[in-house]
Amino acid sequence: MAGQLKEVRNRIKSVQSTQQITKAMKMVSAAKLRRAQDAIIQMRPYAQKLQEMLSNIVSNSEAGSGMSLAAERPVEKVLLIVITSDRGLAGAFNANIIKLAKATIVEKYADQNKKGNVTVWNIGKKGYENFIKGNYKADATFKDIFLNLTFENVQKAAKAAMKAFEEKEFDVVEIVYSQFKNAATQRFEVERYLPIPKVEKKAGAVKADFIYDPSKEQLIAELMPKILNTQLYKAVLDSNASEHGARMTAMDKASENANEMLRALKISYNRARQAAITTELTEIVSGAAALQG
Protein backbone atom coordinates (compact mmCIF):
# COMPACT_ATOMS: atom_id res chain seq x y z
CA MET A 1 0.00 0.00 0.00
CA ALA A 2 2.84 2.38 0.93
CA GLY A 3 4.47 1.66 -2.44
CA GLN A 4 1.23 2.52 -4.26
CA LEU A 5 0.93 5.84 -2.39
CA LYS A 6 4.55 6.73 -3.25
CA GLU A 7 3.95 5.95 -6.93
CA VAL A 8 0.86 8.20 -7.06
CA ARG A 9 2.75 11.02 -5.25
CA ASN A 10 5.56 10.78 -7.81
CA ARG A 11 3.09 10.93 -10.67
CA ILE A 12 1.42 14.01 -9.15
CA LYS A 13 4.81 15.76 -8.85
CA SER A 14 5.66 14.81 -12.45
CA VAL A 15 2.37 16.18 -13.83
CA GLN A 16 2.74 19.39 -11.78
CA SER A 17 6.26 19.91 -13.19
CA THR A 18 5.01 19.34 -16.73
CA GLN A 19 2.14 21.77 -16.16
CA GLN A 20 4.56 24.48 -15.04
CA ILE A 21 6.51 24.01 -18.30
CA THR A 22 3.38 24.10 -20.51
CA LYS A 23 2.11 27.24 -18.76
CA ALA A 24 5.47 28.96 -19.21
CA MET A 25 5.60 27.97 -22.90
CA LYS A 26 2.07 29.27 -23.39
CA MET A 27 3.05 32.66 -21.94
CA VAL A 28 6.18 32.85 -24.12
CA SER A 29 4.21 31.93 -27.26
CA ALA A 30 1.51 34.49 -26.41
CA ALA A 31 4.14 37.25 -26.19
CA LYS A 32 5.76 36.17 -29.49
CA LEU A 33 2.35 35.84 -31.14
CA ARG A 34 1.46 39.47 -30.42
CA ARG A 35 4.58 40.67 -32.24
CA ALA A 36 4.17 38.19 -35.11
CA GLN A 37 0.47 39.01 -35.47
CA ASP A 38 1.16 42.75 -35.63
CA ALA A 39 3.81 42.15 -38.31
CA ILE A 40 1.55 40.10 -40.62
CA ILE A 41 -1.53 42.30 -40.12
CA GLN A 42 0.50 45.35 -41.18
CA MET A 43 2.13 43.54 -44.11
CA ARG A 44 -0.88 41.67 -45.56
CA PRO A 45 -2.91 44.56 -47.15
CA TYR A 46 0.24 46.00 -48.74
CA ALA A 47 1.35 42.61 -50.12
CA GLN A 48 -2.13 41.72 -51.40
CA LYS A 49 -2.48 45.02 -53.24
CA LEU A 50 0.96 44.64 -54.81
CA GLN A 51 0.13 41.09 -55.93
CA GLU A 52 -3.19 42.24 -57.39
CA MET A 53 -1.46 45.04 -59.30
CA LEU A 54 1.25 42.70 -60.60
CA SER A 55 -1.27 40.07 -61.73
CA ASN A 56 -3.27 42.73 -63.58
CA ILE A 57 -0.18 44.06 -65.34
CA VAL A 58 0.86 40.54 -66.37
CA SER A 59 -2.66 39.67 -67.55
CA ASN A 60 -2.87 42.76 -69.74
CA SER A 61 0.65 42.67 -71.16
CA GLU A 62 2.18 40.74 -73.99
CA ALA A 63 5.15 38.47 -73.26
CA GLY A 64 8.37 40.30 -73.91
CA SER A 65 11.12 42.23 -72.22
CA GLY A 66 10.91 41.98 -68.45
CA MET A 67 8.20 39.31 -68.57
CA SER A 68 10.44 36.28 -68.11
CA LEU A 69 9.06 35.70 -64.60
CA ALA A 70 5.55 35.32 -66.04
CA ALA A 71 6.53 32.93 -68.83
CA GLU A 72 4.33 29.82 -68.96
CA ARG A 73 6.05 26.66 -70.20
CA PRO A 74 5.46 22.90 -69.97
CA VAL A 75 5.98 21.77 -66.39
CA GLU A 76 8.94 19.39 -66.27
CA LYS A 77 10.81 20.61 -63.18
CA VAL A 78 9.03 21.71 -59.99
CA LEU A 79 10.14 23.64 -56.93
CA LEU A 80 8.11 23.65 -53.70
CA ILE A 81 9.08 26.18 -51.04
CA VAL A 82 7.76 24.56 -47.83
CA ILE A 83 7.57 26.82 -44.77
CA THR A 84 7.48 25.02 -41.40
CA SER A 85 8.95 25.93 -38.00
CA ASP A 86 12.27 25.21 -36.31
CA ARG A 87 10.67 23.69 -33.19
CA GLY A 88 7.90 21.27 -32.37
CA LEU A 89 5.33 21.28 -29.53
CA ALA A 90 2.93 23.21 -31.77
CA GLY A 91 0.19 20.62 -32.14
CA ALA A 92 -0.34 19.44 -35.71
CA PHE A 93 1.06 22.66 -37.24
CA ASN A 94 4.16 21.19 -38.91
CA ALA A 95 2.49 17.86 -39.69
CA ASN A 96 -0.33 19.58 -41.60
CA ILE A 97 2.05 21.65 -43.76
CA ILE A 98 4.22 18.61 -44.55
CA LYS A 99 1.12 16.52 -45.30
CA LEU A 100 -0.18 19.21 -47.71
CA ALA A 101 3.19 19.45 -49.46
CA LYS A 102 3.37 15.67 -49.96
CA ALA A 103 -0.26 15.56 -51.13
CA THR A 104 0.54 18.31 -53.67
CA ILE A 105 3.46 16.27 -55.01
CA VAL A 106 1.30 13.13 -55.31
CA GLU A 107 -1.78 14.83 -56.80
CA LYS A 108 -0.22 17.47 -59.08
CA TYR A 109 3.35 16.45 -59.78
CA ALA A 110 3.43 12.64 -59.59
CA ASP A 111 5.03 12.24 -63.05
CA GLN A 112 7.69 14.85 -62.35
CA ASN A 113 8.41 13.25 -58.96
CA LYS A 114 8.94 9.82 -60.55
CA LYS A 115 11.61 11.40 -62.76
CA GLY A 116 13.25 13.04 -59.73
CA ASN A 117 12.27 16.50 -60.94
CA VAL A 118 10.55 17.77 -57.78
CA THR A 119 12.78 19.79 -55.44
CA VAL A 120 11.79 21.00 -51.97
CA TRP A 121 13.37 24.14 -50.51
CA ASN A 122 12.75 24.13 -46.78
CA ILE A 123 12.29 27.22 -44.65
CA GLY A 124 12.25 25.82 -41.11
CA LYS A 125 14.14 22.81 -39.70
CA LYS A 126 11.11 20.57 -39.07
CA GLY A 127 10.22 20.39 -42.75
CA TYR A 128 13.79 19.65 -43.79
CA GLU A 129 14.16 16.85 -41.21
CA ASN A 130 10.97 15.20 -42.45
CA PHE A 131 11.67 15.47 -46.18
CA ILE A 132 15.28 14.32 -45.92
CA LYS A 133 14.14 11.21 -44.01
CA GLY A 134 11.52 10.55 -46.69
CA ASN A 135 14.18 10.53 -49.43
CA TYR A 136 12.79 13.64 -51.11
CA LYS A 137 15.04 16.02 -53.03
CA ALA A 138 15.29 18.43 -50.09
CA ASP A 139 17.47 21.55 -49.98
CA ALA A 140 18.64 23.03 -46.63
CA THR A 141 20.05 26.33 -47.95
CA PHE A 142 17.32 28.49 -46.40
CA LYS A 143 16.13 26.28 -43.53
CA ASP A 144 17.60 28.56 -40.81
CA ILE A 145 15.80 31.76 -41.82
CA PHE A 146 13.77 31.77 -38.59
CA LEU A 147 16.98 32.10 -36.55
CA ASN A 148 17.15 35.66 -37.88
CA LEU A 149 13.84 36.52 -39.52
CA THR A 150 14.42 39.66 -41.58
CA PHE A 151 13.25 40.86 -44.98
CA GLU A 152 16.85 40.73 -46.23
CA ASN A 153 17.23 37.02 -45.39
CA VAL A 154 13.89 36.09 -46.98
CA GLN A 155 14.82 38.20 -50.01
CA LYS A 156 17.84 35.95 -50.59
CA ALA A 157 15.54 32.93 -50.95
CA ALA A 158 13.16 34.87 -53.23
CA LYS A 159 16.01 36.03 -55.48
CA ALA A 160 17.41 32.51 -55.68
CA ALA A 161 13.99 31.16 -56.72
CA MET A 162 13.58 33.87 -59.37
CA LYS A 163 17.04 33.25 -60.76
CA ALA A 164 16.47 29.49 -60.90
CA PHE A 165 13.15 30.02 -62.72
CA GLU A 166 14.64 32.43 -65.26
CA GLU A 167 17.50 30.02 -65.95
CA LYS A 168 14.89 27.26 -66.48
CA GLU A 169 16.07 25.14 -63.57
CA PHE A 170 12.38 25.02 -62.61
CA ASP A 171 9.23 25.51 -64.68
CA VAL A 172 6.92 26.22 -61.76
CA VAL A 173 7.47 27.38 -58.17
CA GLU A 174 4.83 27.00 -55.45
CA ILE A 175 4.80 28.00 -51.79
CA VAL A 176 3.30 25.68 -49.15
CA TYR A 177 2.61 27.56 -45.93
CA SER A 178 0.11 28.31 -43.18
CA GLN A 179 -2.04 31.41 -43.49
CA PHE A 180 -2.68 33.02 -40.11
CA LYS A 181 -6.32 33.66 -39.18
CA ASN A 182 -6.25 33.82 -35.39
CA ALA A 183 -4.52 32.09 -32.48
CA ALA A 184 -6.69 28.98 -32.81
CA THR A 185 -7.12 28.90 -36.60
CA GLN A 186 -4.64 28.48 -39.43
CA ARG A 187 -5.41 27.78 -43.08
CA PHE A 188 -2.87 25.66 -44.95
CA GLU A 189 -2.28 26.91 -48.48
CA VAL A 190 -0.47 26.05 -51.71
CA GLU A 191 0.16 29.32 -53.55
CA ARG A 192 1.57 29.77 -57.05
CA TYR A 193 4.73 31.88 -56.91
CA LEU A 194 6.21 31.52 -60.39
CA PRO A 195 5.29 31.97 -63.15
CA ILE A 196 3.35 34.98 -61.89
CA PRO A 197 -0.33 33.97 -61.97
CA LYS A 198 -2.63 35.91 -64.24
CA VAL A 199 -6.04 37.27 -63.26
CA GLU A 200 -8.86 35.21 -64.73
CA LYS A 201 -10.77 37.36 -67.20
CA LYS A 202 -14.50 37.39 -66.57
CA ALA A 203 -17.00 37.75 -69.37
CA GLY A 204 -17.82 41.40 -69.97
CA ALA A 205 -15.06 42.63 -67.66
CA VAL A 206 -13.39 45.90 -68.61
CA LYS A 207 -9.71 45.57 -69.41
CA ALA A 208 -7.50 47.50 -66.98
CA ASP A 209 -5.88 50.49 -68.67
CA PHE A 210 -2.61 51.56 -67.08
CA ILE A 211 -0.60 54.67 -67.87
CA TYR A 212 3.11 53.87 -67.56
CA ASP A 213 5.80 56.38 -66.66
CA PRO A 214 8.62 55.52 -67.23
CA SER A 215 8.16 52.81 -69.86
CA LYS A 216 6.18 49.62 -69.19
CA GLU A 217 9.27 47.43 -69.68
CA GLN A 218 11.34 49.44 -67.22
CA LEU A 219 8.59 49.45 -64.60
CA ILE A 220 7.93 45.73 -64.94
CA ALA A 221 11.63 44.92 -64.68
CA GLU A 222 11.86 46.94 -61.46
CA LEU A 223 8.51 45.99 -59.91
CA MET A 224 8.39 42.24 -60.48
CA PRO A 225 11.35 41.23 -58.28
CA LYS A 226 10.37 43.65 -55.50
CA ILE A 227 6.76 42.44 -55.39
CA LEU A 228 7.86 38.78 -55.45
CA ASN A 229 10.26 39.45 -52.56
CA THR A 230 7.32 40.89 -50.63
CA GLN A 231 5.08 37.91 -51.45
CA LEU A 232 7.51 35.37 -50.02
CA TYR A 233 8.13 37.55 -46.97
CA LYS A 234 4.37 37.72 -46.35
CA ALA A 235 4.12 33.91 -46.51
CA VAL A 236 6.98 33.55 -44.01
CA LEU A 237 5.37 36.09 -41.64
CA ASP A 238 2.03 34.25 -41.98
CA SER A 239 3.68 30.95 -41.04
CA ASN A 240 5.59 32.56 -38.16
CA ALA A 241 2.38 33.94 -36.62
CA SER A 242 0.58 30.63 -37.26
CA GLU A 243 3.34 28.70 -35.47
CA HIS A 244 3.12 30.80 -32.31
CA GLY A 245 -0.68 30.67 -32.36
CA ALA A 246 -0.64 26.89 -32.77
CA ARG A 247 1.94 26.46 -29.98
CA MET A 248 0.00 28.73 -27.61
CA THR A 249 -3.19 26.76 -28.25
CA ALA A 250 -1.39 23.41 -27.87
CA MET A 251 0.21 24.45 -24.56
CA ASP A 252 -3.15 25.74 -23.28
CA LYS A 253 -4.75 22.37 -24.06
CA ALA A 254 -1.82 20.56 -22.44
CA SER A 255 -2.24 22.63 -19.27
CA GLU A 256 -5.96 21.81 -19.17
CA ASN A 257 -5.19 18.10 -19.63
CA ALA A 258 -2.66 18.30 -16.79
CA ASN A 259 -5.36 19.77 -14.53
CA GLU A 260 -7.68 16.88 -15.33
CA MET A 261 -4.92 14.35 -14.67
CA LEU A 262 -4.10 16.03 -11.35
CA ARG A 263 -7.72 15.85 -10.24
CA ALA A 264 -7.90 12.15 -11.11
CA LEU A 265 -4.56 11.40 -9.42
CA LYS A 266 -5.50 13.28 -6.25
CA ILE A 267 -8.75 11.33 -6.02
CA SER A 268 -6.80 8.11 -6.52
CA TYR A 269 -4.26 9.19 -3.88
CA ASN A 270 -6.95 10.08 -1.34
CA ARG A 271 -8.71 6.76 -1.88
CA ALA A 272 -5.48 4.82 -1.46
CA ARG A 273 -4.65 6.84 1.66
CA GLN A 274 -8.09 6.21 3.16
CA ALA A 275 -7.74 2.51 2.41
CA ALA A 276 -4.34 2.47 4.12
CA ILE A 277 -5.74 4.22 7.21
CA THR A 278 -8.70 1.83 7.32
CA THR A 279 -6.36 -1.15 7.08
CA GLU A 280 -4.17 0.22 9.88
CA LEU A 281 -7.21 0.86 12.14
CA THR A 282 -8.50 -2.64 11.43
CA GLU A 283 -5.14 -4.11 12.38
CA ILE A 284 -5.01 -2.07 15.62
CA VAL A 285 -8.55 -3.08 16.62
CA SER A 286 -7.83 -6.72 15.77
CA GLY A 287 -4.63 -6.62 17.83
CA ALA A 288 -6.39 -5.04 20.80
CA ALA A 289 -9.17 -7.65 20.63
CA ALA A 290 -6.60 -10.45 20.51
CA LEU A 291 -4.85 -9.09 23.62
CA GLN A 292 -8.14 -8.86 25.53
CA GLY A 293 -9.06 -12.37 24.50
Going by C-beta distance under 8 Å and a sequence separation of 6 or more, which residues neighbour residue 192?
Answer: 172, 173, 174
Could you give the CA distance from residue 51 to residue 59 in angstroms, rounded to a whole number?
12
Q: Which of 30-39, 47-56, 194-203, 219-228 has the lowest mean pLDDT?
A: 194-203
Span 35-198+217-251 CATH architecture: 3-Layer(aba) Sandwich (3.40)
Per-residue pLDDT tens digits for 212-222: 677 777 777 77
Query: pTM of the predicted model, to two decimals?
Result: 0.83
Contact 21, 176 (CB under 8 A): no
* 249-267: average pLDDT: 90
Per-residue pLDDT tens digits for 51-95: 887 777 777 665 544 578 888 899 999 999 999 999 988 889 999
Could you give the CA distance from residue 155 to residue 139 in angstroms, rounded to a whole number?
17
Could you state, in order of their start, the residue ranges of all structural domains in the chain?
Answer: 35-198+217-251
pLDDT, residue 208, reads 58
Residue 29, burial from CB neighbour count under 10 angstroms (0-12, 13-18, 19+): buried
Could you give the CA distance from residue 105 to residue 137 in angstroms, rounded to a whole number?
12
Per-residue pLDDT tens digits for 158-182: 999 999 999 999 999 999 999 998 8
CA nearest neighbour of 80 among 48, 59, 96, 103: 103
- pLDDT beyond 70 at 210: no
pLDDT, residue 202, reads 57
Residues above pLDDT 90, as percent of the chain: 51
> Could you tell me the CA-to-CA distances from 292 to 8, 281, 284 in Å, in that order?
38, 17, 12
